[in-house]
């Protein structure tokens, strides 16, 4: 009987370019760096390619979602925590920056970094109780916070209540706005990528794999999870802080579901665990969502369905699939 | 033995799961630099002792003293940080990582940074190199590809060594080995035994929980016997072997019918 | 006294909401984030049967529950079955399903105050001088009946026992000839019908709105975490704790804080006793 | 009764079972011996169909790609592609490694869950038989499974498997981690099950010594391949086997 099975093998060039030898030939060098260059140059060119200021604004929004998606991907695939509350980070960062700007009179470029750090601290503190545990707790708590916070703000009429904080300063001009957020996406994308390959990143992954052994090695898993949550919420808060300065307004809609579900959808479509995938996913999803703006909440139905389809039928996502095809080939072998 | 003082004192620890006593007021001393074996039938509470000492579960009552300091109730990572490390009965390597990368993680811990890791004189070099050094000490062939293989592809014998290596990376004072011999072939055990003896020579106190009596008795200085969550007896291997109670509880008589009624 | 009566009613309501979620999680270990959506579906389907097709109320209820059960089973059979065992995907997929359904309803125009279900029976009775309307009484009675039914079902019937076996070790159950996928479908259908039942008993007390879906999901999850995930008896007990706590806050602080109470209950539980009131899973695991 | 031919299992590119053929006649006890990771559990999973389930889950998670080749015939019919639950229904029941009893249910409930496939009458009769076979369980009826000792758990696991009315019972390392005393009880019980109820049994063990006296035919696995097979006497007297597989500490 003829029996066959599929086998996956690394391409020779990948094996060689993993080592230092890559520097020896242009072919191998370009094999390594070309994909990255295409991405960087492509993103830097984007604001020029957009037809009008509306679409330029869309690019900024894409980048903000990309930051959120990075934060989701980082937490989910390098720490094993599923955050269903991107809106929580956005809301905290956004409100903080808006208040600092309007009440304390700080200019945007002071308010944004401060709101990022302070907001990340607050979010980490709020999420601290569920960090020692594995499982669905983190997902549940992050799902609840934005809903509950929105209720509290509404009920107690805090920060302008349903009207929100008005009169927030905008960025000096659209170009600054766009290149600032694009730079932030680069910073955090390559930053987290570098981070997960350091020894600290290794420890974080170990926490995901096997927290008992980490404990037995004399390390507090809560501490390391807190570090990672801080980094992730900093990304989210930064995104929220930028958002209020783009829209010049902070309100309860910062806690809206869009901010929670779209980054997840983008990550799943783009390929979780790659850190580039989520950014790519945002570049696909956000423009589509802009086109669907007039349909109202149907957009959310749309993301949910896309998300579901991807998770069920192609759970690895575009990037993982692409990377595999790039680095490996498959062949049928006879047994 | 040069030093007879108790490095670890376990004082009447009790652990109840639901209504059942897994440990019932167990007390014993561990002397510095010795190898203490703990034996007993399944379900007699051996692993529970390890879990209680290392803080992986909270004991219902009782105290544990380390160098005379009360460490009961401290979280697991604090206890490990003091130098009391353990292996797991069901091995827990980081499966997706190569073997040597498994050691980068414990080498990252505060204790390893303080002590310089295994044999380190206070400063820790590149963690990858130190990791490979430790693996070599523990019996991975340095020049082969074994230390670079993903932990998920390693056979049981190597994984057990990896568990020990993880402990060693912390430069521990005490290692609690939870059934390091179980699941190994005769020849693998034979190569593990000198390893354990080496640990003792390096001044590490070892507590071993075992089923494999013959091998344990070769290395252990003292043996404690557990049964139904209680300490039955302790003494040198010869004393324990001679004890009538131990024979009855652990080896049983040949009459099956008698056993059926006793259980 | 009125705190006691309203507390009991609220607790029974919470227990009804939570049991469906607890059942599905207990058996298939899938946190069903679409739970709230199923609740809302039942409400709207009943309303449509009643108002658009002018069916008899009882018949509408029956039909709605069956439809919800079938939808639950279909969700499992075609979507969740493919992501079983991958916790990240499970959470995301079921959350996505729930969102799609709820936001779909919102887009379809099901909002506002017009969608209400009639009470089972009109009138109020006086208990210790406090008026309690019949529908609230039904909440308590049906809540108690569901708990009793579930207990008997999982302790005495072949199917119930098989479900419990699967809840504890799926592969071991498989070895004994229990078809795990079919059992999970059954569990999911049962869970969906329970959430449907909760909807039918509770919705006559208010409007059918999309937001209820999120509320119910969150309250159910809060109850389940406090009770210990996967423990049904724990869920019932936790429903009472949270139920009374909510009534207290409503009386002394104001109605807006109900959700905050649920959140606070979760956080406190996680800090003090992470496994929940009845979650002893962890201890057993450590013993091995 | 059971005839598996040319079984091969790959985990990704690693060969876990290499061309193994195994047969089991009516009312025989077959022993499969080998060190850890020799492929014993993989073999049992493949025979019982659990491998099918593992394969599916791994495939969904994007993990290892498991390939299973070869045919399995059971009661003259090909069952290679059947789901594990259907194989169990036809009387092929696996009592897994590490026992895997239902930790949170009582002994009685464990047994009743095991009786999912049995009729009321069969359940009652089997229950009586199990308590006769393992008297300790009788007193522990109400005890929660997770609180039993290892030996009691193993008795319960075997009892639970019997409740599923097997014609062919697969025992995966039933003696693992148990004291010599409990081991001898279980070995005797295993023989009784075969003698009294006519159930064929395939048993795997790491150490051959305790089980060898009751097996009719034995296979010895090494690195996924069957290096030796033969009837009881032949294995017993093979000098290589004696040195390699008879090491069990028993002072």
Is the separation of the CB atoms in D232 and D223 below 8 Å? no
pLDDT of residue C144: 92
Name the residue with higher pLDDT: D74 or C89: D74
Q: What percent of chain C has pLDDT over 90?
A: 17
B156 shares its domain with B223: no
B167 shares its domain with B88: yes
- Compute the mean pLDDT over every residue in chain C, rounded to the nearest whole number: 83
pLDDT of residue D161: 94
Are the Cβ atoms of C176 and D116 closer than 8 angstroms?
A: yes
Residue A165 is part of a domain; what is its CATH number? 1.10.3470
pLDDT of residue B1: 40
Residue B164 is part of a domain; what is its CATH number? 3.40.50.300
Is the separation of the CB atoms in C34 and C263 below 8 Å? no
> Backbone phi, then psi, for D106, in 5-degree steps?
-75, 170
Measured CA to CA in angstroms, residue A238 lies from A108, A264, C214 at distances of 12, 18, 27
Question: Considering only alpha carbons, which residue of chain C is nearest residue A139?
Answer: C91
Which secondary structure element, helix H or strand E, spans residue A45, and what is its range? helix A26-49
Identify the domain containing residue B131 by its residue range. 84-172
Q: DSSP secondary-structure letter at B144?
A: S
pLDDT of residue B259: 33
* pLDDT tens-digit series, residues C113-154: 667 777 777 777 777 777 888 888 888 999 999 999 999 998
In 3D space, the residue among B131, B128, B110, B109 whose CA is nearest the CA of residue B119 turns out to be B131
Q: Does C169 contact chain D (CB < 8 Å)?
A: yes
Query: Is residue B188 assigned to a domain?
Result: no
Query: Is residue B192 assigned to a domain?
Result: no
pLDDT of residue C222: 87
Interface of D with A (CB under 8 A): 8, 10, 12-13, 60, 62, 65, 67, 69
Instruction: Look up tokens 């290679």; give the residue.
Output: D80
Q: What percent of chain A has pLDDT over 70?
A: 90
Q: Does D57 contact chain C (CB < 8 Å)?
A: yes
The structure tokens listed for C181 are 């996928």
Strand positions, DSSP E, chain D: 2-11, 14-24, 29-33, 66-74, 77-78, 92-95, 168-172, 200-205, 217-222, 225-231
pLDDT of residue C273: 74
The structure tokens listed for A199 are 């020894």
- Mean pLDDT to the nearest integer, B38-44: 73
B70 shares its domain with B88: no
- Mean pLDDT to the nearest integer, B54-76: 86
In 3D space, the residue among A7, A28, A30 whose CA is nearest the CA of residue A18 turns out to be A28
SS3 (DSSP) at A221: helix
Are the Cβ atoms of C287 and B90 closer than 8 angstroms?
A: no
Which residues 48-77 on chain B approach chain C with CB closer than 8 angstroms?
A: 48, 51, 56-57
B92 shares its domain with B69: no
Q: Does A2 contact chain B (CB < 8 Å)?
A: no
Q: Does B24 contact chain D (CB < 8 Å)?
A: no
- Compute the mean pLDDT over every residue in chain D, rounded to the nearest whole number: 86
**Burial status of residue A43 (CB atoms within 10 A of its CB: 0-12, 13-18, 19 or more):** buried
- Mean pLDDT to the nearest integer, B233-243: 82
Q: Does C88 contact chain A (CB < 8 Å)?
A: yes
Residue A200: count other Cβ atoms within 10 Å of its Cβ: 14
- A213 CB neighbours in chain B (<8 A) are 88, 92-94, 105, 166
Tell me the ipTM for this assembly: 0.75
For chains C and D, what is the number of CB pairs under 8 angstroms?
88
Q: Does D118 contact chain C (CB < 8 Å)?
A: no
Query: Residue D211: CB partners within 8 Å, gap ≥ 6?
Result: D31, D33, D175, D187, D190, D203, D205
* pLDDT tens-digit series, residues B171-180: 888 999 888 8
Which of B16, B42, B56, B57 is the best mutation test for C, with the most CBs of C within 10 A? B57
Q: DSSP secondary-structure letter at A162?
A: T
Are the Cβ atoms of A82 and C270 closer than 8 angstroms?
A: no
The structure tokens listed for A31 are 């094999």
- B47 CB neighbours in chain C (<8 A) are 287-288
* pLDDT tens-digit series, residues A94-117: 899 888 888 888 888 888 889 999
pLDDT of residue B249: 61
**Burial status of residue B123 (CB atoms within 10 A of its CB: 0-12, 13-18, 19 or more):** exposed
- C179 CB neighbours in chain D (<8 A) are 83, 85
pLDDT of residue C249: 86
Query: Residue B173: CB partners within 8 Å, gap ≥ 6?
Result: B7, B82, B83, B84, B204, B205
Q: How far apart are CA A299 and CA A313, in angstroms?
A: 21
**Residues for chain C: how many in total?**
288
Q: Are strands D200-205 and D168-172 parallel, antiparallel or unpaired?
A: parallel
CATH class of D2-91+166-245: alpha beta
The structure tokens listed for D46 are 């493949």
Distance of CA D188 to the CA centre of its chain: 16
pLDDT of residue B262: 31
CA distance D115 to chain B (A): 24
Residue C247: count other Cβ atoms within 10 Å of its Cβ: 22
Which of D38, D179, D210, D214 is the best mutation test for B, with the most CBs of B within 10 A? D179
Q: Are strands B205-209 and B174-178 parallel, antiparallel or unpaired?
A: parallel
Query: Residue C106: CB partners within 8 Å, gap ≥ 6?
Result: A297, C210
CA distance C155 to chain D (A): 8
**Res. D156: pLDDT tops 90:** yes
**Res. B260: pLDDT tops 50:** no
**Res. B95: pLDDT tops 80:** no
**Burial status of residue A9 (CB atoms within 10 A of its CB: 0-12, 13-18, 19 or more):** middle
Measured CA to CA in angstroms, residue C160 lies from C151, C155, C187, D145 at distances of 9, 7, 10, 18
Name the residue with higher pLDDT: A198 or A237: A237
B51 shares its domain with B100: no
Q: How far apart are CA C180 and CA A125, in angstroms?
A: 40
CA distance C223 to chain A (A): 12
- The pTM (predicted TM-score) of the whole model is 0.80
In 3D space, the residue among C19, C22, C47, C45 whose CA is nearest the CA of residue C142 turns out to be C19
pLDDT of residue C264: 84
For the beta sheet containing D66-74, the strands, ordered from the edge strand earlier in sequence to the opposite edge, are D14-24, D2-11, D66-74, D77-78
Min mean pLDDT across B47-56, C163-172, C175-184, D6-15 is at D6-15
> Backbone phi, then psi, for A250, in 5-degree steps?
-125, 130
Query: DSSP characters for B149-173?
Result: SBGGGS-HHHHHHHHHHHHHTT--S
- How many domains are contained in chain A? 1
* pLDDT tens-digit series, residues C179-235: 888 888 999 999 999 999 999 888 888 878 888 888 888 889 888 888 887 778 888
Q: How far apart are CA B167 and CA A217, in angstroms?
A: 7
Identify the domain containing residue A264 by its residue range. 4-334
Q: How far apart are CA D162 and CA B31, in angstroms?
A: 49
Query: Residue B244: CB partners within 8 Å, gap ≥ 6?
Result: none
- Mean pLDDT to the nearest integer, D72-89: 90
| Candidate from B44, B155, B211 with C-beta closest to D37 | B155
- Compute the mean pLDDT over every residue in chain B, rounded to the nearest whole number: 78
Q: DSSP secondary-structure letter at B252?
A: -
CA distance C46 to chain D (A): 36
- D36 CB neighbours in chain B (<8 A) are 155-156, 183-185
Which of B15, B16, B17 is the best mutation test for C, with the most CBs of C within 10 A? B17
SS3 (DSSP) at D49: coil
**Res. C283: pLDDT tops 50:** no
Domain ranges of chain D: 2-91+166-245, 101-165
Q: How far apart are CA D251 and CA D249, in angstroms?
A: 6
pLDDT band for position D163 (cuts 50, 70, 90): very high
Are the Cβ atoms of C284 and B48 closer than 8 angstroms?
A: no
Min mean pLDDT across B207-216, C174-183, D130-139, D189-198 is at B207-216
**Res. A326: pLDDT tops 80:** no
Q: How far apart are CA D114 and CA D163, in angstroms?
A: 5
pLDDT of residue B252: 47
- How many domains are contained in chain B? 2
Q: How far apart are CA D130 and CA D146, in angstroms?
A: 19
The CA-CA-CA angle for residues C251, C254, C255, to 5°, reads: 100
For chains B and D, what is the number of CB pairs under 8 angstroms?
68
- Compute the mean pLDDT over every residue in chain A, rounded to the nearest whole number: 81
Are the Cβ atoms of B43 and D37 closer than 8 angstroms?
A: no
Are the Cβ atoms of C286 and B51 closer than 8 angstroms?
A: yes
Is the separation of the CB atoms in A79 and A228 below 8 Å? yes
Measured CA to CA in angstroms, residue A149 lies from A153, A257, B122, C217, C258 at distances of 6, 13, 49, 17, 12
Are the Cβ atoms of D65 and A335 closer than 8 angstroms?
A: no
Is the separation of the CB atoms in A140 and C225 below 8 Å? yes
Q: What percent of chain C has pLDDT over 70?
A: 94
Are the Cβ atoms of C175 and D104 closer than 8 angstroms?
A: no
- C278 CB neighbours in chain B (<8 A) are none
B67 shares its domain with B95: no
Which of A10, A212, A213, A273 is the best mutation test for B, with the most CBs of B within 10 A? A213
* pLDDT tens-digit series, residues D119-145: 999 999 999 999 999 999 999 999 888
- A257 CB neighbours in chain C (<8 A) are 99, 103
SS3 (DSSP) at D76: coil
Instruction: Look up tokens 């807190």; give the residue.
Output: A226
pLDDT of residue D62: 61
* pLDDT tens-digit series, residues C72-105: 999 888 888 877 767 777 888 888 888 888 888 8
Rounded to the nearest 10°, the torsion over CA D164, D167, D172, D174 is 80
- C280 CB neighbours in chain B (<8 A) are 18
Which of A206, A218, A221, A223 is the best mutation test for B, with the most CBs of B within 10 A? A218
pLDDT band for position A124 (cuts 50, 70, 90): very high
Are the Cβ atoms of D188 and B153 closer than 8 angstroms?
A: no
pLDDT band for position D47 (cuts 50, 70, 90): very high
Is the separation of the CB atoms in B106 and B127 below 8 Å? no
- Mean pLDDT to the nearest integer, B140-165: 77
Is the separation of the CB atoms in B144 and B84 below 8 Å? no
Are the Cβ atoms of A218 and B77 closer than 8 angstroms?
A: yes
**Res. A11: pLDDT tops 70:** no
pLDDT of residue B257: 34
> Backbone phi, then psi, for A32, in 5-degree steps?
-80, -45
């Amino acid at each position: 009987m003829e029996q066959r099975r599929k086998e996956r093998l690394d391409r020779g060039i990948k094996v060689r370019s993993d080592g230092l030898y890559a520097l020896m030939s242009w072919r191998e060098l370009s094999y390594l760096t070309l994909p990255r260059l295409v991405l960087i140059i492509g993103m830097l060119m984007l604001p020029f390619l957009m037809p009008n200021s509306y679409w330029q604004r869309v690019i900024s929004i894409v980048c903000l979602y990309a930051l959120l998606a990075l934060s989701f991907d980082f937490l989910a695939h390098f720490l094993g925590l599923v955050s269903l509350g991107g809106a929580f980070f956005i809301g905290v960062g956004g409100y903080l920056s808006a208040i600092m700007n309007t009440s304390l009179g700080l200019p945007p470029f002071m308010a944004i970094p401060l709101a990022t750090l302070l907001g990340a601290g607050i979010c980490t503190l709020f999420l601290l109780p569920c960090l020692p545990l594995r499982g669905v707790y983190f997902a549940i708590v992050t799902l609840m916070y934005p809903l509950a916070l929105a209720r509290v703000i509404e009920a107690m009429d805090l920060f302008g209540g349903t009207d929100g904080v008005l009169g927030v300063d905008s960025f000096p001009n659209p170009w600054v706005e766009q290149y600032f957020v694009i730079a932030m996406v680069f910073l955090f994308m390559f930053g987290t990528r570098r981070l997960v390959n350091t020894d600290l990143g290794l420890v974080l992954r170990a926490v995901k794999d096997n927290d008992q052994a980490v404990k037995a090695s004399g390390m507090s898993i809560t501490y390391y999870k807190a570090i990672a949550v801080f980094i992730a919420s900093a990304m989210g808060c930064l995104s929220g802080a930028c958002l209020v300065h783009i829209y010049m307004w902070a309100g309860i809609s910062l806690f809206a579901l869009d901010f929670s579900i779209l980054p997840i959808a983008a990550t799943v479509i783009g390929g979780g665990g790659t850190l580039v995938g989520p950014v790519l996913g945002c570049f696909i999803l956000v423009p589509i969502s802009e086109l669907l703006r007039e349909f109202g909440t149907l957009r959310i139905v749309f993301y949910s369905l896309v998300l579901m389809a991807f998770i069920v039928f192609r759970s690895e996502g575009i990037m993982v699939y692409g990377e595999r095809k790039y680095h490996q080939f498959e062949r049928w072998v006879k047994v | 033995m040069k030093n007879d003082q108790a490095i670890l004192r376990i004082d009447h620890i009790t652990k109840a799961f639901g209504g059942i006593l897994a440990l019932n007021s167990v007390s014993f001393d561990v002397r510095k630099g010795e190898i203490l074996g703990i034996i007993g039938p399944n379900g007699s509470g051996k692993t529970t002792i390890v879990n209680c000492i290392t803080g992986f579960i909270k004991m219902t009552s009782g105290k544990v003293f380390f160098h005379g300091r009360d460490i009961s109730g401290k979280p697991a990572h604090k206890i490990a940080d003091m130098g009391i490390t353990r292996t797991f009965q069901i091995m827990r390597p980081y499966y997706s990582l190569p073997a040597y990368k498994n050691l980068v993680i414990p080498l990252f811990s505060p204790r390893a940074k303080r002590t310089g890791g295994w044999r380190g004189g206070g400063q820790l070099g590149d963690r990858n190199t130190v990791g490979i050094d430790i693996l070599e000490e523990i019996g991975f062939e340095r020049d082969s590809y074994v230390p670079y293989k993903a932990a998920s592809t390693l056979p049981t014998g190597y994984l057990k060594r990896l568990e020990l290596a993880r402990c060693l990376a912390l430069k521990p004072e005490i290692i609690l080995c939870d059934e390091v011999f179980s699941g190994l072939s005769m020849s693998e055990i034979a190569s593990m035994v000198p390893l354990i003896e080496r640990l003792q020579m390096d001044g590490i106190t070892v507590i071993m929980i075992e089923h494999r009596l013959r091998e344990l008795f070769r290395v252990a200085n003292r043996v404690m016997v557990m049964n139904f969550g209680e300490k039955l007896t302790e003494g040198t291997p010869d004393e324990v072997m001679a004890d009538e109670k131990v024979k009855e509880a652990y080896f049983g008589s040949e009459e099956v019918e008698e056993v059926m009624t006793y259980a | 006294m009125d705190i006691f009566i309203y507390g009991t009613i609220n607790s029974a309501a919470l227990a009804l909401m939570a049991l469906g979620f607890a059942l599905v999680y207990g058996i298939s270990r899938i946190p069903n984030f679409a739970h709230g959506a199923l609740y809302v579906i039942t409400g709207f389907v009943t309303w449509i049967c009643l108002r658009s097709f002018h069916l008899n109320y009882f018949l509408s209820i029956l039909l709605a529950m069956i439809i919800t059960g079938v939808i639950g089973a279909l969700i499992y059979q075609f979507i969740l079955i493919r992501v079983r065992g991958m916790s990240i995907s499970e959470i995301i997929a079921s959350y996505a399903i729930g969102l799609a359904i709820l936001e779909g309803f919102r887009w379809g125009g099901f909002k506002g105050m017009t969608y209400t279900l009639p009470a089972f029976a009109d009138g109020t009775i006086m208990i210790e001088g406090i008026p309690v309307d019949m529908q609230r009484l039904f909440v308590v009675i049906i809540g108690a009946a569901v708990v009793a039914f579930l207990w008997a079902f999982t302790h005495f019937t072949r199917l119930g026992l098989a479900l419990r076996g699967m809840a504890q070790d799926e592969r071991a159950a498989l070895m004994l000839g229990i078809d795990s996928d079919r059992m999970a479908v059954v569990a999911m259908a049962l869970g969906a019908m329970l959430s449907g039942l909760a909807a039918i008993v509770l919705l006559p007390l208010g409007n059918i709105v999309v937001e209820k879906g999120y509320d119910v999901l969150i309250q159910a999850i809060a109850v389940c975490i406090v009770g210990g995930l996967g423990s049904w008896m724990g869920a019932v007990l936790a429903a009472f704790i949270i139920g009374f706590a909510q009534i207290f806050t409503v009386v002394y602080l104001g109605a807006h804080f109900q959700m905050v109470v649920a959140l606070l209950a979760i956080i406190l539980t996680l800090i003090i006793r992470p496994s929940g009131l009845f979650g002893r899973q962890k201890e057993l695991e450590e013993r091995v | 009764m059971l005839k598996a031919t040319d079984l091969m299992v790959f985990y990704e590119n690693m060969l876990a079972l290499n061309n193994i053929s195994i047969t089991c006649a009516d009312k025989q006890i077959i022993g499969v011996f080998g060190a850890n990771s020799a492929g014993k559990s993989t073999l049992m999973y493949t025979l019982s169909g659990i491998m099918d389930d593992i394969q599916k889950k791994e495939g969904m998670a994007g993990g290892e790609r498991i390939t299973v080749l070869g045919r399995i015939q059971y009661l003259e019919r090909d069952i290679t592609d059947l789901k594990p639950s259907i194989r169990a229904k036809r009387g092929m029941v696996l009592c897994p490694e590490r026992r895997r009893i239902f930790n949170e249910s009582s002994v009685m409930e464990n047994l009743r869950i095991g009786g999912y496939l049995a009729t009321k009458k069969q359940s009652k009769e089997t229950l009586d038989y199990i308590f006769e076979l393992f008297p300790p369980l009788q007193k522990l009826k109400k005890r929660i499974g997770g609180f039993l000792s290892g030996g009691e758990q193993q008795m319960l696991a075997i009892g639970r498997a019997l409740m599923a009315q097997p014609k062919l019972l697969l025992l995966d390392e039933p003696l693992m981690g148990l004291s010599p005393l409990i081991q001898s009880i279980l070995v005797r019980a295993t023989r009784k099950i075969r003698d009294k109820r006519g159930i064929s049994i395939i048993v795997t063990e790491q150490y051959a010594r305790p089980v060898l006296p009751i097996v009719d035919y034995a296979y010895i696995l090494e690195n996924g391949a069957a290096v030796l097979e033969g009837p009881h006497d032949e294995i017993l007297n093979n000098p290589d086997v004696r040195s390699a597989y008879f090491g069990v500490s028993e002072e």
